[in-house]
Amino acid sequence: MDKSYDRKKVEEKWYSFWDEQGYFKADPNSDKPKYSLLIPPPNLTGELHLGHAMQHSILDALARYKRMSGHDVLLLPGVDHAGIQFEAAFEKKLSKEGLSKQKLGREEWLKKAWGFKEEVYTSVSKTWRFLGLSADWSREVFTLDEGPRKAVFEEFKTYFDKDLIYKGPYIVVWCPKDQTAIEDVEVEYEERAEKLYYLKYGPLTLATARPETKFGDTAVAVHPDDKRFQEYVGKEIEIETLSGKKKMQVIADTAVDPKFGTGVIKVTPGHDFTDYEIGQRHNLPIIQVIDKTGRLTEVAGKYAGMKVAEAREAMLPELREKGILVKEEDYTHNVAVCERCKSVVEPIISEEWFVKVREMAKEAVQLIKEDEITFLPKNYEKILVEWLENIHDWCISRSLWWGHRIPVWYKDKEMKVSQDSPGEGWVQDEQVLDTWFSSGLWPFSTLGWPEKSTELEKYFPWDFEISAPEIKYLWIARMVMLSKYFTDQVPFKTMFFHGMLRDLEGRKFSKSLGNGIDPNYLIENWGVDATRMALYSYSVPGRDGRVSKQILDERGKNFRNFETKLRNIAHYVIELKPEGSNEKLDFKNEDDAWIKKELETTINNVSANIDSLNLHLATEEIYNFVWHKLADVYLEKTKERRAEAQPILEYVLESSLKLLHPFMPFVTEELWQSLPNKKGESITISLWPKNP
RNA sequence: GGGCACUUAGCUCAGUUGGUUCAGAGCGUCUCGUUUACACCGAGAAGGUCGGGGGUUCGAGCCCCUCAGUGCCCACCA
């Protein structure tokens, strides 16, 4: 066979053929049973990675299989605006041009941002098509589109009217780099070797890792049962500070661990979560020491204006000199950093919007426990339930510009919830909503909700949803919660968590490590079909895989070879068809009966494995049949009775192509079209083989 | 600290209810073979006491207990 043909060209040709024929379009008016799959909207940040490629390969295999099995399939594509991540990527680009948010102003910035969005989108959507994704592009949705915008407003208004939304000062995780509050689920912890400082507070000594927050102390606390400090509880002690002597009360609170450090803590309600809670219990005042840019405020005296790390270094000599700092020891602990930009985050008091989600979460738990969602792997059900049971109020505001703006308007002392300006003189809230506020609605906002569309009626709840495990709380749990709340239904019937692909050391792929593998690289080397096949072997639910470029190349090569094998089988069957071949399909010969039986077994096993979402087994099954049964054994045997076996060869080849099509769409279409009786008719709409 | 996974051939991984077909695949290694579908191939071979130990059973990678190692998630101790 020709070994040097242009695979890419062929892929493009068939993809546009399918697209033009409209095979991927769902038809709400069809009377076929529906099967709906929701594509997790990738973030608008640029490149697609291996995880996306795997998700899309899995989704597409299922979509194609269901389509061939007589379903009206909706595979719905979309894109997420990804607030923080998008702004970070955009900011980088702007800074290269010497521009910034400050220089541009909100309006101009947004204009450019939309331009950047288009740019990024173009490259992303191209890659999608390369993977062969059989999505209904006519229904593609972007989270900032008008539809989702209406849905988001409906969501906000509903919460507001039901008194589930409130705004207030609260301790939040603040990212000084991104200049916004983030959620605790967006925080990562990094182990760092720092120091533990022992400070003298009057008659007491306490240990702290953060002496710079000293200016915000409003109490000293011990455990109520700790006998060592009983005499001080409820009293005031006089302590030495950097700005002279000061009185401070000693309180008792169970949050204090008597075994850690000296058993005494300083309470800084403005900059520590535990301390904040202690402060609430004891009515302590809050002093802000660190501002939103990560610098000390004027309460820090001469240290005001310094960044946290600088200030800490700078104040140590004075603390030593004044005899306040009495001991230092090495201390390794976890430091909270922003998941997106990796800078150290600060607990800070800020004015933010919150949603009370406890009741909603409770109902979601109920729903999950009724087993209406099949989780793969199963144990994720428990993981999600536990998170939902311990949920706390959701901080939904972000100090960003890219996103759905909070639909609240102010005029003098008045406030109104409205999607658009209520009129002259009204000013909209500056903040935007958390990205997940809109993503949580995705299963129904994409189908026209809050309108009652036929699409919503037909395709919701979704039959299948897939996700990386890392967004199980941020996204999956929220979708369940919001679907229950707004539609009283589950968002999807099957929830498939794929594993994470990691490098050989077991580390995540990340930009900062530079260990990523570009799916486009694999596609260029081995073709889409082979790349997809390689990925299916890692598609076992919940199981991580360790890969390297070399390992993926091996797999890619293997399946590229398989593709060649398939081409050669087709060549033998079709091109080398002898004159005067038998026309009648019967299986009287012993070999014919054998291959027929093997094929039937394969059909059963492949179908069953797709139905049970074991794509790695389904692909193995058909691979084994085609290579080691059909090619190695049967085909060899037909050489002695070529003309007689022709109808059986054609029949088995056709069935094999169909069985392979969900996984290797391109080569199967190409070979299908070369069958003498199939010119122009697509394998995409052929019927899945069934045994009598 | 709490929870959850994983540990099977040199490497990356399968192995769905315990039972001739479970001891496998791909790649790698070795031997042989250019027989017209295919060397991006074919025939064959080597290689694992399925992490250690204990238990249940007529019978266990597969169930239970325990130990060890690895990874992930959650919480967070100032």
Distance in Å, residue A378 CA to nucleotide B64 C1': 21
Q: Is the CB of A571 under 7 A from strand B?
A: yes
Confirm whether any atom of chain B, the nucleic acid strand, is less than 7 Å from CB of A568.
yes
Where do runs of H (alpha helix) occur along A411-570? 435-439, 442-445, 454-459, 478-487, 519-536, 549-570
What pLDDT shows up at residue A46? 66
| DSSP code of residue A97 | T
pLDDT reported for residue A659? 96
> For residue A157, what are the contacts with CB-CB under 8 A and spacing of at least 6?
A407, A417
Q: Which of residues 333-362 of A touch strand B (CB under 7 A)?
A: 333-334, 336
pLDDT score for A472: 84
Which of A272-281, A342-351, A634-643, A664-673 is most confident? A664-673
- Protein CA A672 to sugar C1' B71 (Å): 44
- Distance, CA of A315 to C1' of B26, in Å: 61
List, in sequence order, every residue forming a beta bridge with A246; answer none if it has no partner: A239
Cβ of A645 near strand B (under 7 Å)? The reply is no
Output the pLDDT for position A692. 67
Show contacts of A19-22: CB within 8 Å, 24+ apart.
A19/A129, A19/A137, A21/A682, A21/A684
Range of lowest pLDDT (A24-38, A113-127, A659-673): A113-127
What's the pLDDT at A1?
A: 41
How large is the C-alpha radius of gyration of chain A? Answer: 31
How many whole angstroms separate alpha carbon A437 and alpha carbon A479? 10
Q: Give mean pLDDT, residues A664-680.
A: 90
Cα separation, A391 vs A405, in Å, equals: 25
C1' of B67 to CA of A505 (Å): 25
List the A540 CA – B14 C1' distance (angstroms): 9
Strand B closer than 7 A to residue A142 Cβ = no
Angstrom CA distances, A19 to A111, A135, A317, A666, stand at 32, 9, 71, 13
A459-499 tens-digit pLDDT? 999 999 999 888 888 899 999 999 999 999 999 999 999 98
Q: Which nucleotide is nearest to A472 (CA to C1')?
A: B73
DSSP A509: P
pLDDT mean over A362-379: 89
Query: How distant is the alpha carbon of residue A243 from its chain centre?
Result: 49
A574 Cβ within 7 A of any nucleic strand B atom: no
**Measured distance CA(A602)–CA(A622) in Å, rounded:** 7
Query: Does the CB of A618 fall within 7 Å of any strand B atom?
Result: no
- Contact, A385 vs A481, CB < 8 A? no
DSSP string for A234-265: TSEEEEEETTEEEEEEEEE-TTS-TTSTTSEE
Asked if A104 and A40 count as a contact pair (C-beta separation under 8 A), the reply is no
Run of H or E including A651:
helix A642-660
Provide the phi-psi class of A263: left if phi over 0, else alpha when psi is between -120 and 50, else beta.
left
Tokens of A102: 């400050």
Residue A313 parent element (H or E): helix A308-321
pLDDT given for residue A511 in this prediction: 66
Contact between the CB of A619 and strand B at under 7 Å: no
C1’ B37 / CA A562, Å: 13
Strands A432-433 and A462-467: unpaired
Q: Strand B closer than 7 Å to the CB of A515? A: no
A273: CB within 7 A of chain B nucleic strand: yes
Q: Does ipTM come in above 0.90?
A: yes
- SS3 percent helix, strand, coil of chain A, rounded to 5, is 45, 20, 35
Cβ–Cβ under 8 Å, residues A233 and A252: yes
Shortest CA distance to A468 belongs to which of A373, A543, A385, A386?
Answer: A543
**A379: nt with nearest C1' to CA:** B4
Q: Is the CB of A611 under 7 A from strand B?
A: no
Q: How many residues does chain A have?
A: 692
d(CA A545, CA A539): 9
Protein CA at A473 to nucleotide C1' at B67, angstroms: 34
* Bases along strand B below 7 A from a protein CB: 3-6, 11-16, 25-28, 37-38, 40-43, 70-78
Separation CA A471–CA A456 (nearest Å): 25
Nucleotide nearest A614, from its CA to each C1': B16
A317: tokens are 């000599």
* Residues A536 and A501: beta-carbon distance below 8 Å: no
- Among the listed residues A490, A468, A472, the one whose alpha carbon sits nearest the alpha carbon of residue A481: A490
- The answer, yes or no, to whether residue A3 has pLDDT greater than 50, is no
Q: Could you give phi then psi for residue A234, rounded to 5 degrees?
A: 85, -5
Q: Which nucleotide is nearest to A335 (CA to C1')?
A: B76
Question: What pLDDT is attached to residue A2?
Answer: 41
For residue A600, the one-letter residue type is E
Question: Tell me, in Å, how far CA of A250 is from C1' of B76?
Answer: 23
Strands (E) in A112-203, as ranges, are 141-142, 165-175, 180-182, 187-201
Average pLDDT over residues A579-595: 85
Asked if the peptide bond before residue A469 counts as cis, ω within 30 degrees of 0, the response is no
* Residue the block writes with tokens 């809670």: A277
Query: What is the spatial distance between Cα A29 and Cα A25, in angstroms, rounded to a whole number?
Result: 12
Question: Measuring from the CA of residue A546 to each C1', which nucleotide is nearest?
Answer: B12
Question: Residue A543, CB, less than 7 Å from strand B?
Answer: yes
Distance A597 CA to B59 C1' (A): 31
| Rounded CA–C1' distance between A541 and B15, in angstroms | 15
Q: Measured from the CB, is A206 under 7 Å from any atom of strand B?
A: yes
Q: What is the mean pLDDT of residues A108-117?
A: 93
Mean pLDDT of A524-544: 92
User: A649 CA to B41 C1', in Å?
Assistant: 20
In window 378-407 of A, residues with CB < 7 A from nucleic chain B are 379, 382-383, 387
Question: Given this model, what pLDDT does residue A30 score?
Answer: 94
CA of A658 to C1' of B29 (A): 36
pLDDT in tens, A140-182: 999 999 999 999 999 999 999 999 999 888 888 888 888 888 8
